[in-house]
């Protein structure tokens, strides 16, 4: 690689955990915290809220509905798990990380749900060499993040819980209602792990995506659901998309400017399609694909790369039109129709009007770049 | 947290809110309308002080209703309904406003406690006409309330305070500060807090704004009334006024007795009190505050909500209800509330009862929760309160329009709305009464825009007759409002909501917009337009969207008789509907045979609208793009494909050869998919009959088909072919027949038909016809023949 690649010191990591990044702030909050703490919690519910929504020494880390944060905290203090649902790219995982860092001081008890997640990954497994040598013992047991959270009284994060097969998901039912884990291989006392206060589950899930499984009613009952919504503010999202896309381009060795007007047109298109209506109330067809902020970043990234290597080294709206199809069209041809309809109804009327009129005009003119289905 | 610079000074002022002195001669009690906490403390103050007089912020010209309001037979919610007919030159403006009272309204409690302790009650606000004159106005379309608390909602100061304590808005802040904590405070401390809250809002409101909306004029009058009162006095007013009352220069405005104004006491309902239903006078979810007033425990409220959500389904279970109670309590503790507030309960519902995402599963759950918390209480007024205002308004309008109510015979009137303004007003009135479902007048004929009938006519003909059923229906319709206009608006709203909550068909909603214009409810239209836009966006039925587009275009072209000149948004909506239809058209596949006719009608209407819907942009380009993709799509049904071919051919976007090739392709397959060819032909001929003689290959292909089919196949084909050719006029049929003759090598074969047809022949034919009919009738066969 080239030498302008940022040098990586031996003691740095690619990504630091939330409790590590915000350690001074968490310490300060805990020090000033006068409120009652639920058993096993590192700080009071109000201090947790302050950590996430800002106030005092804390900066705001989550943009959105503050009442949602309050509800989430209250849920975690009770005996039900918290299930954050919403479309991809709505910062559900970040929120779960922040909650775990503030409440338990650790956000690393994580189980990643996939179609291949097994029961052992949720409960425990064995170090087979020791198991064969010594027989079942606590030393031979390999604890899962869930096991660790229960033993230490900490929050456990379960990402993408609905990607697990239903029978694996249902392992959670007994853990959450009995708050204990049976380990029949071990002797009487050690054979039952009872959760310490402070243990609870923060899960994230996507309810509408492909490849996700239904949740059983029994499991649903053990969770309180909270819906995390996409960013509604255009300016905020444009800023975020530009920042993220520039960062990703930089990591791909490309340093280029992403014109605010071009990104604004892109993000506005995304917001309109996501909402099913333009900001001035005109209705548009909503594609079935998720028009997430992350997708907008990826459109910027591909368009940027193509302009860098094949074009004029600056982001053009025409390339955005070429690459936006990839974000909208995943597997349903009617989604492409919806995008085309958007060009006909919205882009066409915006062409030449308002401060971004010329960009919209070029965007509309480039509708031939949309992939044919 | 940052603070807006313009509120810096105000913060200091608010610190000087004086403590309440319960030993003063005149005690000022600041309240918020419909606040149970205020109501409770008003009662405590009155029972402690036992004043000689209780002064209430209510229109002084409604003071006559005090004894009715204090009667045992008066059950809240009720409202004082004030009206005023203002004459400006030759014009008359009709003003009306409500002053609602619920059981938990501080003013209601003041009235009833005053009776118990034997204190006299005075209403100290301006008379209603003077309020209007001094600047009190309603937001467009909303019902005017005499208890508007917009100052609180518009206060930036309170918004910032709400943000600081983590409340959603000024209402939530109020609940946080007073409804949940009020019971624990003594009355003096409580009211001092209320006064501080109101002082914040007042500090945020400019003097000019208060002068403009009549606040200051009203306060001067109130101050004058207070100054006149002897003995110990308790003054119950909105806290926003209390802040300034003691220091206001008194100036009495004496009502003009000759004014055409009046007020009535009428029954009211929680539905009307609920601000979420668009009634400015109200509060959100009055049922919840009713529960607070009755000291209903949170558990019981949550259980009621759970049962409402449960309906016929099994969820939420009792265990869920328990969890929701705990959750509400948890939120209440975390937010520092003594009792759970409205948002605490709603948040518990959101967290615990919604098993899924908020915008899918949550919608039904929250709607049910809101329904339960809105409550359904309705009040009643003593019989001495007289006729409900709707009946009075009906009689007044009828007299004004010279409609005869004393005659038991049916009368008929002819209205020429295009030329005479009075006739137009009469038409609006009769349409409004018709909309209310009150049996009074029948529309006999004339242009009915909503129904799309008689549009070529100019005059409307109505017949009408007053009957006792008219009056009872009016009394029943009083729940929609106190005047014909308001009630009709309420009924319209109900109908529109039905469309929204039921099938969401945009055509029906568009018709309601026309109905609104016909009934003179133009003020409601700006509110309906965005809602219609949403319905259009969600309507998945091509025919319905096209019909909506047609209705909206009709509204646009008929803007003169309908007085819709200013509603330019209707045309934009028509364009939106047209575009939506363009999109939906792309998704239509095979349609059942029975629906083909409506589909073809809709398609023709849509295609015809392409150039007519909006003169500024020609949508033919879009039309052609959509039709082209339809032609290229194999999943489109044969009728639709044929019609698309026809439309494109008529616009010269498809050549004769293209059409011939398409017909040949369909007809060649005819033997295997029998009806596909003729159905394609039906669509084609419906949109472009001329291709029959412009594309000779078409007749040729048909001819070949008929040559090869077997008899039984022909029998199956025949009805389809007949249907396809039914679009042709007799002359066109002849033309095609001549072509067929030529192909068959008999060019002149039609020449043999009778061309010299005399009057005598016609008479003979008629005679034969009538003889035949007589014979058939004699044989008892006529019915079968006619049928």
Taking CB atoms and an 8 Å limit, are B583 and A66 in contact across chains? no
Query: Is the separation of the CB atoms in A303 and A323 below 8 Å?
Result: yes
Across the interface, which of A66, A284, A337 has its CB nearest the CB of B166? A66
Domain count, chain A: 2
**A2-16, B189-203, B601-615, B716-730: the lowest-pLDDT one:** A2-16
> Is A26 within a domain?
no
- Give the CATH number of the domain where residue A206 resides: 3.40.50.300
> What average pLDDT does this structure show over B230-250?
91
Six-digit token pair at B34? 């419909």
CA distance A86 to chain B (A): 7
Q: Which of A178, A205, A227 is the last residue of a domain?
A: A227
Six-digit token pair at A134? 């010594």
A201 plus A239 within the same structural domain: no
Confidence of residue B356 (pLDDT cuts 50, 70, 90): confident
Confidence of residue B279 (pLDDT cuts 50, 70, 90): low
Q: Which residues of B517-550 are buried (b: 16+ CB within 10 A; e: fewer)?
A: bbbbbbebbebbbeebbbbbbebebbbbbbbbbb
Domain that includes residue A356, residue range: 234-369
- Which residues of chain A lie closer than 8 angstroms to B313, CB-CB? none
Annotated domain spans of chain B: 11-277, 296-374, 387-480, 755-787
pLDDT of residue A141: 93
> What average pLDDT does this structure show over A204-217?
80
Contacts of A351 (CB under 8 A, 6+ apart): A357, A360, A361, A363, A364, A365
Please indicate whether residue B344 or residue A280 has the higher confidence score (pLDDT): B344
Query: What is the tens place of the pLDDT at every residue in A132-158?
Result: 998 898 899 999 999 999 999 999 999
Interface of B with A (CB under 8 A): 1, 166, 168, 317, 319-320, 323, 326-327, 330-331, 334-335, 343, 347, 350-352, 354-362, 530, 533-534, 536-538, 572, 576, 579-580, 582-583, 586-587, 622, 625
pLDDT of residue B443: 92
CA distance B466 to B406: 7
> What average pLDDT does this structure show over B131-150?
70
Across the interface, which of B1, B352, B576 has its CB nearest the CB of A282? B576
**A46 interface with B at CB cutoff 8 Å:** yes
- Which residues of chain B lie closer than 8 angstroms to A229, CB-CB? 358
A179 plus A309 within the same structural domain: no
**Percentage, residues of chain B above pLDDT 70:** 92
- Count of C-beta atoms within a 10 Å radius of residue B157: 23
pLDDT of residue B141: 43
Residue of A nearest to B2 (CA): A55
> What average pLDDT does this structure show over B578-599?
83
Confidence of residue A37 (pLDDT cuts 50, 70, 90): very high
**B204-218, B569-583, B675-689: the lowest-pLDDT one:** B675-689
| Predicted confidence (pLDDT) at residue B536 exceeds the cutoff of 80 | yes
A240 plus A223 within the same structural domain: no
> What average pLDDT does this structure show over A70-95?
90
Q: Which of A227, A262, A288 is the last residue of a domain?
A: A227
CA distance A84 to A91: 10
**End-to-end distance of chain A based on CA atoms, in angstroms?**
39
Query: Is the separation of the CB atoms in B562 and B523 below 8 Å?
Result: no
Taking CB atoms and an 8 Å limit, are B334 and A208 in contact across chains? no
Arithmetic mean of pLDDT over chain A: 86
Across the interface, which of A49, A337, A345 has its CB nearest the CB of B579? A345
Q: Find how far residue B770's CA is from the centre of its chain.
A: 56
pLDDT of residue B719: 81
pLDDT of residue A63: 72
> Is A148 within a domain?
yes
A244 plus A215 within the same structural domain: no
B373 φ, ψ (degrees, to nearest 5) = -80, -15
> What average pLDDT does this structure show over A172-187?
89
Nearest Cα to Cα of residue A303 among A360, A252, A240 = A252
Confidence of residue B597 (pLDDT cuts 50, 70, 90): confident
> Is A31 within a domain?
no
Nearest Cα to Cα of residue A297 among A245, A261, A252 = A245
A127 plus A246 within the same structural domain: no
Indicate left, alpha or beta for B97 from its phi (over 0: left) and psi (-120 to 50: alpha).
beta
> What average pLDDT does this structure show over B471-487?
81
pLDDT of residue B1: 34
Taking CB atoms and an 8 Å limit, are B579 and A71 in contact across chains? no
> Is A357 within a domain?
yes
Arithmetic mean of pLDDT over chain B: 84
Nearest Cα to Cα of residue A229 among A13, A67, A45 = A67
Across the interface, which of B327, B533, B536 has its CB nearest the CB of A78? B327
Confidence of residue B15 (pLDDT cuts 50, 70, 90): low
pLDDT of residue B39: 94
A221 plus A258 within the same structural domain: no
Taking CB atoms and an 8 Å limit, are A227 and B358 in contact across chains? yes
**A60 interface with B at CB cutoff 8 Å:** no
> What average pLDDT does this structure show over B430-442?
92
| Predicted confidence (pLDDT) at residue B459 exceeds the cutoff of 60 | yes
pLDDT of residue B785: 64
pLDDT of residue B4: 35
Contacts of B785 (CB under 8 A, 6+ apart): B776
Query: Is the separation of the CB atoms in A314 and A259 below 8 Å?
Result: yes
Please indicate whether residue B72 or residue B638 has the higher confidence score (pLDDT): B72
- Which residues of chain A lie closer than 8 angstroms to B358, CB-CB? 227, 229
Residue of B nearest to A75 (CA): B327
| Predicted confidence (pLDDT) at residue A234 exceeds the cutoff of 70 | yes
> What average pLDDT does this structure show over A100-129?
92
Q: Sign of the C-alpha dihedral, residues A48, A52, A54, A58?
A: positive
Angle between helices B506-518 and B542-557 (to 10 degrees): 20
According to the per-residue pLDDT averaged within each range, which of A1-15, B106-120, B186-200 is highest? B106-120
| Predicted confidence (pLDDT) at residue A313 exceeds the cutoff of 80 | yes
- Cα distances from A122 to residues A201, A221, A367, B395, B485, in angstroms, run 12, 19, 49, 76, 66
Confidence of residue B749 (pLDDT cuts 50, 70, 90): low
pLDDT of residue B18: 81
Query: What is the tens place of the pLDDT at every residue in B48-96?
Result: 999 999 999 999 989 989 999 999 999 998 988 888 878 777 777 777 7
> Is A245 within a domain?
yes
| Predicted confidence (pLDDT) at residue B755 exceeds the cutoff of 60 | yes
CA distance A90 to chain B (A): 13
**A255-259, A286-290, B295-299: the lowest-pLDDT one:** A286-290
pTM recorded for the entire structure: 0.70
**A361 interface with B at CB cutoff 8 Å:** no
Mutate to test the interface with B, among A39, A63, A66, A70 (most CBs of B within 10 A): A70
A167 plus A216 within the same structural domain: yes
**A121-130, B200-209, B722-731: the lowest-pLDDT one:** B722-731
A219 plus A315 within the same structural domain: no
Taking CB atoms and an 8 Å limit, are B1 and A55 in contact across chains? yes
pLDDT of residue B453: 84
CA distance B507 to B448: 16
**A281 interface with B at CB cutoff 8 Å:** yes
Residues in chain A: 373
Confidence of residue A11 (pLDDT cuts 50, 70, 90): low
Mutate to test the interface with B, among A67, A219, A232 (most CBs of B within 10 A): A67
How many CA atoms within 13 Å lie on the side-chain side of B484? 25
pLDDT of residue B694: 82
> What average pLDDT does this structure show over B345-349?
94
**A32-36, B331-335, B752-756: the lowest-pLDDT one:** B752-756
> Is A37 within a domain?
no
Angle between helices B36-49 and B106-117 (to 10 degrees): 20
**Percentage, residues of chain A above pLDDT 70:** 95
CA distance A179 to chain B (A): 17
> What average pLDDT does this structure show over B190-201?
90
A274 plus A206 within the same structural domain: no
A181: enclosing H helix or E strand? strand A180-182
- Which residues of chain A lie closer than 8 angstroms to B538, CB-CB? 283
Nearest Cα to Cα of residue B28 among B17, B14, B13 = B17
How many CA atoms within 13 Å lie on the side-chain side of A371? 15
> What average pLDDT does this structure show over B36-40?
94
Query: What is the tens place of the pLDDT at every residue in B683-718?
Result: 888 888 888 888 877 888 788 777 777 777 778 778
> Is A250 within a domain?
yes
Taking CB atoms and an 8 Å limit, are B347 and A67 in contact across chains? yes
A218 plus A286 within the same structural domain: no
CA distance A251 to A242: 14
| Predicted confidence (pLDDT) at residue B615 exceeds the cutoff of 70 | no
Taking CB atoms and an 8 Å limit, are B327 and A338 in contact across chains? no
Query: What is the tens place of the pLDDT at every residue in B651-689?
Result: 888 888 888 888 877 766 554 455 677 788 888 888 888
Q: Which of A195, A210, A227 is the last residue of a domain?
A: A227
Taking CB atoms and an 8 Å limit, are B533 and A276 in contact across chains? no
Confidence of residue A10 (pLDDT cuts 50, 70, 90): very low
> What average pLDDT does this structure show over B286-299?
92
> What average pLDDT does this structure show over A341-365?
87
A340 plus A319 within the same structural domain: yes
A86 plus A170 within the same structural domain: yes
């Amino acid at each position: 690689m080239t030498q302008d690649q940022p040098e990586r010191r031996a003691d740095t990591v690619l990504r630091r955990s939330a409790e590590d990044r915000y350690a001074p702030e968490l310490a300060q909050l805990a020090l000033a915290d006068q409120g009652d703490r639920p058993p096993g919690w590192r700080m009071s519910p109000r201090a947790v809220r302050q950590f996430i929504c800002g106030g005092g020494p804390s900066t705001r880390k989550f943009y959105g509905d503050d009442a949602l944060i309050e509800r989430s905290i209250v849920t975690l203090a009770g005996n039900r798990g918290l299930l954050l649902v919403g479309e991809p790219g709505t910062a559900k995982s970040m929120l779960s990380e922040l909650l775990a860092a503030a409440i338990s001081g650790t956000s690393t008890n994580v189980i990643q749900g996939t179609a291949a997640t097994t029961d052992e990954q949720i409960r425990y497994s064995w170090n087979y060499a020791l198991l064969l040598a010594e027989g079942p013992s606590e030393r031979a047991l390999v604890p899962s993040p869930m096991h660790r959270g229960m033993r230490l009284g900490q929050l456990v994060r379960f990402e993408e819980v609905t990607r697990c097969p239903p029978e694996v998901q249902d392992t959670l039912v007994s853990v959450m209602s009995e708050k204990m884990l049976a380990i029949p291989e071990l002797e009487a006392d050690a054979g039952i792990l009872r959760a310490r206060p402070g243990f609870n589950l923060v899960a994230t899930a996507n309810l509408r995506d492909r490849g996700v499984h239904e949740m059983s009613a029994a499991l649903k009952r053990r969770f309180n659901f909270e819906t995390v919504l996409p960013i509604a503010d255009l300016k905020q999202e444009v800023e975020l998309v530009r920042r993220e896309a520039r960062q990703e381009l930089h990591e791909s060795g490309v340093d280029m400017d992403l014109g605010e007007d071009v990104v604004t047109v892109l993000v506005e298109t995304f917001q309109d399609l996501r909402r099913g209506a333009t900001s001035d109330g005109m209705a548009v067809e909503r594609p079935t694909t998720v028009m997430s902020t992350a997708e907008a970043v990826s459109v910027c990234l591909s368009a940027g790369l193509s302009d860098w290597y094949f074009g004029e080294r600056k982001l053009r709206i025409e390339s955005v039109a070429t690459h936006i199809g990839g974000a909208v069209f995943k597997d349903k041809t009617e989604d492409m129709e919806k995008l085309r309809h958007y060009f006909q109804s919205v882009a066409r009327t915006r062409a030449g009007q308002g401060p971004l009129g010329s960009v919209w005009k070029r965007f509309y003119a480039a509708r031939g770049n949309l992939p044919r289905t | 947290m940052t603070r807006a610079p313009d509120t810096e000074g105000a913060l200091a002022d608010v610190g000087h809110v004086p403590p309440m002195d319960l030993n003063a001669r005149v005690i000022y009690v600041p309240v918020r309308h419909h606040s149970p906490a205020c109501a409770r403390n008003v009662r405590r103050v009155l029972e402690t002080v036992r004043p000689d007089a209780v002064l209430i912020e209510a229109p002084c010209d409604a003071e006559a209703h005090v004894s009715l309001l204090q009667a045992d037979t008066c059950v809240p919610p009720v409202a004082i309904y004030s009206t005023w007919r203002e004459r400006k030159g030759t014009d008359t403006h009709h003003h009306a406003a409500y002053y609602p009272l619920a059981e938990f309204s501080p003013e209601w409690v003041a009235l009833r406690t005053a009776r118990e302790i034997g204190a006299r009650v005075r209403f100290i606000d301006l008379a209603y006409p003077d309020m209007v004159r001094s600047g009190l106005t309603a937001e467009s379309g909303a019902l005017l309330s005499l208890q508007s608390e917009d100052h609180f909602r518009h206060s930036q100061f309170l918004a910032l305070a709400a943000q600081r304590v983590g409340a959603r808005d000024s209402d939530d802040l109020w609940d946080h500060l007073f409804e949940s904590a009020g019971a624990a405070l003594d009355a003096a401390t409580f009211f001092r807090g209320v006064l501080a809250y109101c002082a914040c809002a007042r500090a945020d409101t400019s003097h000019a704004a208060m002068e403009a909306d009549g606040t200051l004029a009203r306060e001067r009058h109130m101050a004058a009334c207070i100054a006149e009162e002897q003995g110990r006095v308790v003054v119950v007013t909105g806290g926003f006024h209390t802040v300034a009352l003691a220091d206001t220069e008194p100036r009495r405005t004496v009502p003009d007795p000759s004014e055409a104004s009046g007020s009535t006491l009428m029954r009211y309902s929680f539905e009307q009190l609920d601000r979420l239903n668009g009634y400015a006078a109200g509060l959100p979810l009055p049922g919840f505050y009713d529960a607070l007033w009755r000291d209903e425990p949170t558990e019981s409220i949550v259980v009621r909500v759970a049962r409402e959500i449960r309906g016929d389904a099994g969820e939420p279970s009792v265990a869920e209800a328990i969890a929701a109670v705990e959750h509400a309590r948890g939120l209440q503790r975390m937010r520092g509330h003594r009792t759970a507030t409205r948002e605490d309960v709603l948040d518990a519902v959101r967290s615990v009862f919604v098993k899924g995402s908020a915008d899918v599963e949550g919608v039904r759950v929250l709607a049910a929760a809101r329904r339960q918390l809105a409550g359904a209480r309705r009040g009643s007024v003593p019989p001495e309160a007289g006729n409900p205002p709707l009946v009075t308004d009906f009689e007044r309008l009828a007299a004004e329009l010279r409609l005869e109510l004393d005659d038991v015979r049916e009368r008929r009137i002819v209205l020429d709305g295009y030329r005479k303004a009075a006739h137009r007003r009469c038409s609006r009135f009769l349409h409004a009464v018709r909309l209310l479902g009150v049996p009074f007048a029948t529309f006999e004929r004339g242009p009915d825009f909503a129904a799309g009938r008689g549009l070529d006519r100019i005059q409307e003909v109505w017949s009408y007759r007053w009957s006792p059923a008219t009056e009872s229906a009016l009394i029943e319709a009083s729940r929609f409002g106190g005047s014909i206009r308001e009630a009709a608006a309420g009924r319209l709203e109900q109908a529109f909501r039905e469309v929204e909550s039921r099938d969401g068909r945009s055509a029906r909603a568009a018709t309601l917009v026309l109905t609104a214009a016909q009934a003179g409810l133009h003020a409601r239209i700006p509110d309906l337009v965005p809602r219609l836009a949403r319905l259009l966006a969600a309507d998945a039925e091509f025919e319905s969207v096209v019909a909506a587009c047609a209705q909206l275009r009709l509204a646009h072209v008929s803007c003169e008789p309908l007085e819709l000149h200013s509603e330019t948004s209707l045309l934009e909506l028509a364009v939106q509907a047209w575009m939506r239809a363009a999109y939906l058209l792309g998704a239509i596949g095979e349609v059942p045979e029975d629906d083909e006719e409506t589909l073809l009608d809709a398609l023709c209407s849509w295609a015809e609208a392409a150039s007519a819907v909006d003169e500024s942009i020609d949508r033919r380009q879009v039309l052609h793009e959509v039709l082209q993709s339809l032609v290229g799509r194999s999943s489109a049904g044969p009728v639709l494909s044929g019609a698309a071919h026809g439309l494109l051919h008529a616009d010269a976007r498809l050549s004769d050869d293209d059409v011939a090739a398409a017909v040949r392709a369909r007809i060649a397959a005819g033997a295997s998919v029998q009806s596909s060819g003729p159905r394609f032909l039906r669509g084609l001929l419906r949109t472009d009959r001329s291709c029959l003689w412009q594309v000779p290959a078409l007749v040729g292909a048909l001819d070949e088909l008929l040559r090869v089919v077997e008899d039984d196949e022909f029998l199956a084909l025949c009805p389809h072919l007949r249907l396809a050719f039914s679009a042709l006029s007799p002359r066109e049929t002849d033309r095609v027949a001549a072509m067929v003759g030529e192909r068959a090598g008999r060019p002149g074969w039609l020449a043999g038909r009778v061309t010299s047809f005399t009057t005598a022949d016609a008479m003979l034919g008629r005679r034969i016809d009538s003889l035949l009919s007589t014979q058939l009738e004699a044989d008892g066969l006529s019915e079968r023949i006619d049928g």
